[in-house]
Chains A and B, each alone.
Chain A
Amino acid sequence: MNWISNVVRPRITSFLTTKREIPDNMWVKCPVSGQMVFYKDLEANQFVVPGSDHHMRMGADARLINLFDEGKYEAVELRDVPADPLKFRDGKRYTDRIKEARAKTELKDAVLVGEGSLDGRTIVAAAQDFRFMGGSLGMAAGEAVVTGMLRAAEMKEPFILFAASGGARMQEGILSLMQMPRTTIAVQRLRNANLPYIVVLTDPTTGGVTASYAMLGDVHIAEPGALICFAGPRVIEQTIREQLPDGFQRAEYLLEHGMIDMVVHRHKMRETLSRVTSLMMANRAPAEISTADKARLAKAAANLEARSPAAAANGATKPLNGADAPLSANGPATGTGTAAMNGSGNAEHGKAAAANGAVNADIITPEVVLSAKSKRGKAKPPSNGAKPK
């Protein structure tokens, strides 16, 4: 009996599972041209079909891997949300649907948040995964978007979002709808901190997602051919009972109608995002500094005075290709900002900081240090902070 259960059964199971492990999606058919593409080739080409240039849907993890330097990022920890407060059933239990989606995608829910560096600059990015219940916006996804944005605001770094969603998650009812105002609050935190919020609209972005955080970015970038809308084509056709025009609600149509800034090929996405965030961060006005921050900054500044320039230079020997934007603008501050960070030995941010040359680490950005030391006279008056809209 023991021999059977310990040896034979596992062998049988492993034999069966190995067999099943041969992916049924080795070959993928292009929905436009109909050509068959080898999955590995597709993956290597960022899921753009080589011949037809059709942009296939892409998982959240793949998005982040393609965005961050060397494909490395650290997942931002997300708080747990109630599992199924409505005890919802639609033929199947909602909890079972979640389980299935988790098994299929290896994700906890539809939004993945990561931090890492993009051409040396620390950024926070979130990607929505359409495979997870249609990328639907429920409490978990809402919490993820909020957490990601607040994390970026806390780090004073840009936030990039890849949207892909069928809209609100019906199984969570009103609690799903409430993610619209919730995420909007987080967008305002980014805005009030003068931090770039870039939205990449991918196929498809619809419903409550489009009608909240996905349309509130500073810069809207869409992938070619992506369906982007509030009400889906099916709903509209049912309402007005007529055929919709060709290309209706596609990325190019939205560009023409002034809803997005650009349509960008996936192969150019990373460099575009890097350029846009760099340009926006280059001579950014500092956000209003809270009194608590001021006290910390004064301390950091005092520490700096005591340090030799050599120590500061030391700090700058890290892979500082992040020396681009805010740093170069403030010449001498480059070293000080970095040194201050190193000196403060912020364990929590150590990893991220080391990875990107320590541009950010918490609140001690060069321009903030400068204004605390008031070497450049008064920091820009906090007009933005005084009256957040």
Chain B
Amino acid sequence: MSAPAIRTYLDFEKPIAELESKVADLQTLASGEDSVSITDELHNLQQKAEQALADTYAKLTPWQKTQVARHPDRPHCMAFVNALIEEFTPLAGDRHFAEDHAIVGGMGKFAGRSVMLIGHEKGSDTESRIKHNFGMARPEGYRKAIRLMEMADRFSMPVITIVDTAGAYPGIGAEERGQAEAIARSTDACIGLGVPLISVVVGEGGSGGAVAIASANRILMLEHAIYTVASPEAAASILWRDSARAIDAATNMKITAQDLLAMKVIDGIIPEPMGGAHRDTKATIEATGAAIANALSEFDGKSTDEIRTQRHDRFLEIGRSLS
């Protein structure tokens, strides 16, 4: 297991960062000379670092999870696509106005069958983040999603969506071109699909911008992903007119995968490697692929009506069994 050269640590990971940097130092030393004492010390420290990581991640607070979910090194949509989808054929444009790079989509093969894949892409460096607008889609993104879903329906392709957005983009142009209508229609398209729709929230599931492509038969979440009615910052600004109280909002709103599973809003949690998805993206993506394949197989042999009805019942039931 070779650690990447530069790792971005979150503020609550400071103790881990210190231990790991010591480990790294000793490793360079140990590679120089072959002393037993150093190897022992190294082993000792490594264990300490691993323990600190395990302890921290065993009890992440909702706000810490929010930070992990937004970690810059976390795998984003295209990482999943590249690893899981063969013959991926990107499709672009909403046929009305523009191509919105915040939502990527296209056809490809997943586990041997043709599928349509749609997802929010946040980008991984400054240039690509700007290109993808930090994963915040405009109406064109949702209208492209609608177009692809309708196409998938006609060609009996299951739809897989990768959800990772802080929310739909709030801007003049977006409002002018009907952001609300685009989101509503996209949700509408999800709800009406006669093919299975499987959604995975891999990072942030932010508000209507997430629901628009996540009104699915099965909704899965990565272990440290969050799914919210509004980002903690936005919720804090609505509730207290103070976005600095985001931590309070995150704590109160029940946004973690674990909370959502307990409320039966989602169907399953995909475990992340120790220390979060960004520490081992390959393992994360593999586990995600297996979970999607498993969820899809539940709909094998089901008629379009059965698939649609399952989705409707699933959503209509939400909240009814809570007290």
Interface membership of A372, Cβ < 8 A: no
B318 and A230 within 8 A (CB): no
- What residues of chain B lie closer than 8 Å to A216, measured between beta carbons? 184-185, 188
Give Cα A185–Cα B255 distance, bound, in whole angstroms: 24
* Contact B319 A139, beta carbon cutoff 8 Å: yes
Looking at the assembled complex, report how far the CB atom of A143 sits from the nearest CB atom of chain B, in whole angstroms: 8
Q: Which residues of A contact B187 (CB under 8 A)?
A: 180-181, 184, 211-212
Knowing A175-B263, A188-B191, A248-B175, say if A86 contacts B254 (CB, 8 Å): yes
A82 within 8 Å of B (CB atoms):
yes
Please name the residue on chain B nearest to A187 by beta carbon. B188
- Given A168-B229, A175-B265, residue A85 in contact with residue B323 (CB < 8 A): yes
Q: Is A65 an interface residue (CB 8 A)?
A: no
One of B1-9, B117-125, B232-240 contacting the partner: B232-240
SS class, residues of chain B in contact with chain A: helix
Set of chain B residues within 8 Å of A170, measured between Cβ atoms: 229-230, 235, 238-239, 249, 253
Cα-based distance from A299 to B148 in the complex (angstroms): 45
- The B87-140 residues at the A interface (CB cut-off 8 A) are none
Return chain A residues, CB-CB under 8 Å to B230. Answer: 168, 170
A388 in the interface (beta carbon within 8 A): yes
Contact flag A175-B183 (CB < 8 Å), given A88-B252, A170-B238, A216-B188? no
Give, as a whole number of angstroms, the nearest-CB distance from B227 to chain A: 6
- A109: min CB distance to chain B, Å: 13
The answer to whether A19 has its CB under 8 Å from any CB of chain B is no
Decide if A174 touches B315 in the complex (CB within 8 Å): no
A188 to B227, CA, bound (A): 25
**B118–chain A nearest beta-carbon distance, Å:** 16
Q: Is B38 an interface residue (CB 8 A)?
A: no
Q: Would you call B192 and A178 a contact (CB within 8 A)?
A: no
Q: How many A-B residue pairs have CB under 8 A?
A: 163
Q: Are B183 and A230 in contact (CB under 8 A)?
A: yes
Contact B316–A208 (Cβ < 8 Å): no
Whether A82 and B315, one on each chain, are in contact in the complex, defined by CB atoms closer than 8 angstroms, is no
Check B318 against A249 for contact (C-beta < 8 Å): no
Kindly supply a per-residue 1/0 record for chain B positions 181-213, scoring 1 wherever the CB is within 8 Å of any chain A CB and 0 otherwise: 101110110111010000000000001100110
Q: Is the CB of A178 within 8 A of B318?
A: yes
- Which of B179, B215, B235, B323 contacts A231, CB < 8 Å? B179
User: Would you call A181 and B315 a contact (CB within 8 A)?
Assistant: yes
Q: Measured between alpha carbons, how far is A188 from B171 in the docked complex, in Å?
A: 29
Measured between beta carbons, the chain B residues less than 8 angstroms from A88 are 252-253
Interface contact A86-B252, CB-CB below 8 Å = yes
Q: What is the bound-complex CA distance between A215 and B181, given in angstroms? A: 5
Q: With an 8 A cutoff between CB atoms, is B224 at the interface?
A: no
A90-B239, A181-B190 given; A208·B315 CB < 8 A: no
Chain A residues numbered 151-194 whose CB sits less than 8 Å from any CB in chain B:
168, 170, 172-178, 180-182, 184-185, 187-188
Pick from B153, B172, B215, B234: contact of A248, CB below 8 A.
Answer: B172
Give A349 to B239 CA distance when docked, in angstroms: 43
Contacts of B308 on A, CB cut-off 8 Å? 388
A85-B319, A177-B208, A184-B184 known; A236+B252 contact, CB < 8 A? no
**Residue in chain A with minimal CB distance to B210:** A177
Residue of A174, A230, A236 near B263 (CB, 8 A) is A174
Contact A173 B179 (CB under 8 A): no
Closest-CB distance, B271 to chain A (whole angstroms): 21
The residues of B that contact A81 with a CB separation of less than 8 Å are 319-320
Residue of B nearest to A169 (CB): B229
Given contacts A175-B265, A184-B191, A215-B181, contact A90 B175 (CB under 8 A): no
- Specify which chain B residues have a CB less than 8 angstroms from the CB of A249 in the assembled complex: 175
Chain B contacts for A248, CB-based, 8 A = 172, 175
Q: Which residues of A contact B188 (CB under 8 A)?
A: 184, 187-188, 216
Shortest beta-carbon distance, A204 to chain B, in Å? 12
Q: Looking at the complex, which one of B168, B180, B312, B322 makes contact with A85 (CB distance below 8 Å)?
A: B322
Closest to B188 in A: A184
Write out the residue numbers on chain A whose beta carbons fall within 8 Å of the beta carbon of B227.
174
Q: Which residues of the other chain, B, contact A282 by a CB distance below 8 angstroms?
A: none
**Most chain B beta carbons < 10 A, residue from A89, A177, A214, A258:** A177
Return chain A residues, CB-CB under 8 Å to B181.
Answer: 215, 259
Q: How far is the CB of A14 from chain B (nearest CB, A)?
A: 38
Rounded to whole Å, the gap between the CB of B163 and the closest CB of chain A is 12
Q: Contact partner of A211 among B171, B180, B238, B249, CB < 8 A?
A: B180
Q: Is B43 interfacial (CB 8 A cutoff)?
A: no
Out of B170, B174, B252, B322, name the residue touching A82 (CB < 8 Å): B322
Cα separation A257 to B139 with both chains bound (whole Å): 13
Residues of B within 8 A of A378 (CB): none
Q: Can you list 27 pairs linking A and B with CB atoms under 8 Å apart? A: A81-B320, A86-B254, A91-B240, A139-B319, A170-B235, A170-B238, A170-B239, A170-B249, A170-B253, A174-B253, A175-B322, A177-B208, A180-B208, A180-B215, A184-B188, A185-B315, A188-B192, A207-B208, A211-B168, A213-B184, A216-B188, A229-B175, A230-B180, A231-B168, A236-B171, A257-B177, A389-B192
The 6 A-B pairs of least Cβ separation, nearest first, read: A231-B170, A210-B180, A230-B180, A181-B215, A211-B183, A215-B184
Known: A89-B252, A177-B228, A216-B184; 14 extra A-B contacts, CB below 8 A, are: A85-B263, A85-B319, A90-B239, A170-B230, A173-B255, A174-B260, A175-B263, A175-B319, A178-B319, A182-B316, A211-B184, A211-B208, A236-B175, A248-B175
